[in-house]
Structure 1
């Protein structure tokens, strides 16, 4: 077997959305902060993302992360998040999965009934409570960084007309629109092509007319995804949504989150909270495009720069699907992956 590199990967899914956890095989990542480490991976190790996320090994809905040394001494692990579209400063469904993997594999010592896991991420320190019963993880609740409403206004989205758009932040910046305001009657896989096409129009207009700049982290300076929200189908759910993750650079691909999206759910409840539409310590059930759910609540108030914010907690479950060795054959003309987009 002729290989120049081997990556050791654990695979999971959280509410239907996959995560590939790269636990070994990556060269040392330089940086004094996790933001710097993410930038180092972008500049020098993007082949790791392309190999694991893109075809022929991956697909446009794939998500992943690299385990690395934390910069914060309080943390159990440092995490660089990415997907087929590019890099993320935080990823909620992957955080649930990472917390599950760290505890079930023994990297973090398991303690029943609750094990605490601390992750150093580009968005900040994330603390997760991992609920354990009979030696297995049942669910994870993570406390995200403060979430807030950045801006809300009516903008011209060309063929879609004038539409009210919110830009909400929950570890990632989202342009949020109501499905019916852009002519989508149902958030469903059967309407996926229409959803993606209209999400691109929303993204272009929101990026041009509103944009995003985090008030405390200069490197978080763009809208990353579009969240389309509507009425739920599942009894007991408060909202249904789909998140379309936009490509970071030319050659990357558009991705659609199958889960209710952890950072998107955080952004949603943070925005509702600061607008007075959701009370503190009130559960909010967020339904995904495939009918899976996360439960969220705001557990405290905060401020980010001049923005009032809420501190969200998100609960969900992740499941192991595979343990894989990824080989890279230097003779392979497609060794670093490709995209059909």
Structure 2
């Protein structure tokens, strides 16, 4: 083979959401911390993301994570998260994939029954507790960055839809929350295409009518994802709900969305629906689940914030060597609007 570049990838998914992990073939990425490294990749090395996530190697439902030495000495490993249209500060499903790949491939040592790690993400340090049995990671519980509500029960006008009420929040990415039932959705797989079309309209309206910005990092701004929320029900074990999250590039998250689950906890706390320590089980449009809790309270700027934990499982799907043939006319990928919104 006449490859001019080779990248080693371990395939993985967390509760249905693809989060492949790059374990080799990446050159040095400048930056004092993971956020700066993320920005450098975005500006100067974006062809790597295109190679991994665009067709013919990827698709709209692919994400990837690049393992890097940590910038913070308290961390065991660093990583940059890549989605098909952005580099988010944090992602719960991707973090679960990263922790699972690190331990199950032996990059970091596994201790049974519990292995604790600290991961250095662009959004901040993420503590993870991995439950392990017989060489397998059976659960990853992550303590996310602080999550907080920004707007609550605010009315916006959406062209073609009308006046609707939304919440906005930060859970590692920026979200807008809408009531699925009021928009005519049951959150079932057959509705996904229409939910994406409606979600894109809502996102555009929110970003035109609201200012949504992180109080401590103005580079984190604008709503990326729309959470179509089902009703929150109280059962013996805690609270349960279902959601479908339309992510930035206009498709449904296959998992319950880890940052979205964190954002839901922040909004529920702000509305007095959930207390610290209560169990919240969030179900995805595909039927997979994350279990979450609020384990603390803090401030982010002047905003009241919660410290959430989110737990789920990931599975390794393959080991790949991806390469660039210099004669390939689409070596760094392409997108066609039949499936790429």
Shift of 1:85: 2.4
CA contact (8 A) 1:232 1:287 kept: no
Q: Is the 8 A contact 1:29 1:37 kept in 2?
A: yes
Per-residue CA deviation, residues 168-206 of structure 1 (Å, 9 max, x unaligned), is 11100101111122232x111211121011001110111
Matching of residue 267 in structure 1 with residue 274 in structure 2: no
* Separation of aligned partners in 2, 1:88 and 1:255: 16
Aligned residues between the structures? 333
Partner of 1:179: 180
Whole-Å Cα distance in 2 between the matches of residues 105 and 282 of structure 1? 34
Q: Distance in 1 between matches of 2:326 and 2:16?
A: 33
- The CA deviation at 1:122 is 1.2
TM-score by length of 1: 0.94
Take 1:228 and 1:119, find their aligned partners in 2: how far apart are those partners?
A: 30
Contact between 2:144 and 2:172, CA under 8 Å: does it hold in 1?
Answer: yes
1:311 corresponds to which of 307, 315, 321: 307
Aligned partners of 2:85, 2:183: CA distance in 1, in Å? Answer: 24
8 Å CA contact retained: 2:20, 2:97: no
Q: Distance in 2 between matches of 1:67 and 1:135?
A: 21
2:296 to 291, 295, 300: 300
- Normalising to structure 2: TM-score of the pair? 0.94
Structure 2's unaligned 5+ residue stretches are none
Moved over 4 A (4+): none
**Post-superposition CA distance 1:209-266 (Å, at most 9, x none):** 1131101122212211111111489x9771111111124xxxxxx3321000100001
For 1:91 and 1:18, locate their aligned partners in 2 and report how far apart those are by CA, in whole Å: 12
Q: Please tell me whether residue 188 in structure 1 is matched to residue 188 in structure 2.
A: yes
How far apart, CA to CA, are the structure 2 residues paired with 1:294 and 1:231?
Answer: 16
Alignment match, 2:245: 243
Which runs of 5 or more residues in structure 1 are unaligned? Answer: 248-253
Residue 329 (str. 1) matches residue 325 (str. 2): yes
CA separation in 1, counterparts of 2:232 and 2:50? 35
Query: Do structure 1's residue 92 and structure 2's residue 88 form an aligned pair?
Result: no
Distance 1:275 1:16 in 2: 30
2:123 paired residue number? 123
How far apart in 2 are the matches of 1:218 and 1:127? 24
In structure 2, the partner of 1:163 is: 164
Change (3 A) 1:90 1:103: same
Secondary structure class of the residue paired with 2:196:
helix
| Cα distance in 1 for residues equivalent to 2:35 and 2:134 | 37
Q: Any idea what SS the aligned residue of 1:87 has?
A: coil
| SS of residue paired to 1:238 | strand
CA distance in 1, matches of 2:45, 2:200: 28
> Aligned with 1:163: secondary structure?
strand
2:254 is matched with which residue: 233, 255, 258?
258
Q: Residue by residue, what CA displacement relative to the aligned partner does 1:12-38 show, whole Å, maximum 9, x if unpaired?
A: 111111111111111111000211100
